[in-house]
Amino acid sequence: MNTRTPQLFTRGAALWLRQTLYILLALFAIVIDNHFHQLNVLRNLVYITLVPLQALANLPTQLIQQTNHLFSHQLELISENQKLKLELLQDQVLVQDKAFLVKKNLELEGLMGIKDHYSTSIKLSQTLYAAHNPFHQKLIIDGGATQDFKLGSPVLTSEGLIGQVTVLFPKSSEVTLLSDKNLSVPVENLRTGYRSFTQGEGLNDLFDVMYVPVTSDFKVGDEMVSSGLGGVYPAGLPVGRIISVTRDSNSAFFTIRCQTNHVLRSGHYVAVLNPINDHELINKIEPLERSPASQDKKKNTSKKK
């Protein structure tokens, strides 16, 4: 009986021998290929075989690069679009009172000694949402006390005046709209120059022009602009357009309804003007007191006494 233990692993050639053999074989292949170019066919065959595998291996990297490029390009377009909207709004705010300035040019030429200038800075903001109060017409905008917003600041869009900042929060502000019953704005009929003030109806972006005598010239379609009285709102800002003029037989005044120029939703951009301060108001009044007309009036009053 054979009692010899079987060998599970047979030992082959020594490691140094196999390494030497492989090195000699590689050197032989290099020499043959360099002198006789006999391995080009084999090299091309291996290359053709590996090209699809190489493309498949690079596919995840290419997908990641293309996805990153797509998202980065989209973000750049969004950022550029927002920047252009802000620039357009600022330009429109600066030129929207052109029609009013043309109309008032003749009056200003006759007041050579009076300088009527309203200087204020403009802050751009964005509407967040409408205040959830069925009894008031209010809007919440981005930016508050930490952004140096002021109470009483007029708020406008590219279409014209929309309201006034009435409540300040650290990061946001509450704007009372023209259609709110608690907000009144001094206005002027751009066609006739008649001045009055508004009162909101509390719904549907509507407001009324108050206490206009039936002898006044008001028509449907007339544009109402801010008159500048009181110094809170700059003169010439579009406020709304008359949609109806009715007369009650028992009243000496018209009932004039107007539609605001804006339809606000979240995401709209607005401009916030700094309100006039006491120093600016004094600077507006002092030239009037020094004007020739004011001096003549004082002399006439003294003579009567």
String of DSSP letters for the chain? ---PPPPSS---S-HHHHHHHHHHHHHHHHHHHHHH--SHHHHHHHHHHHHHHHHHHHHHHHHHHHHHHHHHHHHHHHHHHHHHHHHHHHHHHHHTTHHHHHHHHHHHHT-TT--------EEEEEEEEE-S-TTS-EEEEE--GGGT--TT-EEEETTEEEEEEEEE-SSEEEEEETTSTT---EEEETTT--EEEEEE-SSTTEEEEEEEETTS---TTPEEEE--TTSSS-TT-EEEEEEEEEE-TT-SEEEEEEEES----TT-EEEEEPPP-HHHHHHHHHHHHHSHHHHHHHHHHHHH-
Task: Convert the pLDDT of each residue in 69-110 to its tens digit.
Answer: 888 888 888 888 888 888 888 777 777 666 656 554 643 343
Q: What number of CA atoms fall less than 13 Å from residue 72's CA on the CB side?
A: 6
Residues 6+ apart with CB under 8 A from 114: 287, 288, 291
Asked if pLDDT for residue 58 goes beyond 70, the answer is yes
Say which residue the tokens 């490691």 belong to.
15
CA quadruple 192, 193, 197, 199: dihedral, nearest 10: 30
pLDDT, the chain, mean: 78
| CA pair distance 179, 136, nearest whole angstrom | 9
φ, ψ for residue 154, nearest 5 deg: -65, 140
The residue ranking higher by pLDDT, 145 or 288, is 145
Q: What pLDDT is attached to residue 296?
A: 53
Q: What pLDDT is attached to residue 219?
A: 93
- The two tokens of residue 97 are 């009172």
233 in Cβ contact with 197 (< 8 Å): no
| CA pair distance 48, 40, nearest whole angstrom | 12
State pTM to two decimals: 0.54
Report, as an integer, the average pLDDT of 129-141.
83
Task: Convert the pLDDT of each residue in 150-208 to its tens digit.
Answer: 999 998 887 788 899 999 999 999 999 999 999 999 999 999 999 999 999 887 789 99
Confidence of residue 239 (pLDDT cuts 50, 70, 90): very high
- The two tokens of residue 147 are 């952004």
258 in Cβ contact with 240 (< 8 Å): yes
| CA pair distance 58, 193, nearest whole angstrom | 74
Backbone torsion region of residue 223, taken as left when φ is above 0, otherwise alpha when ψ lies between -120 and 50, otherwise beta: beta
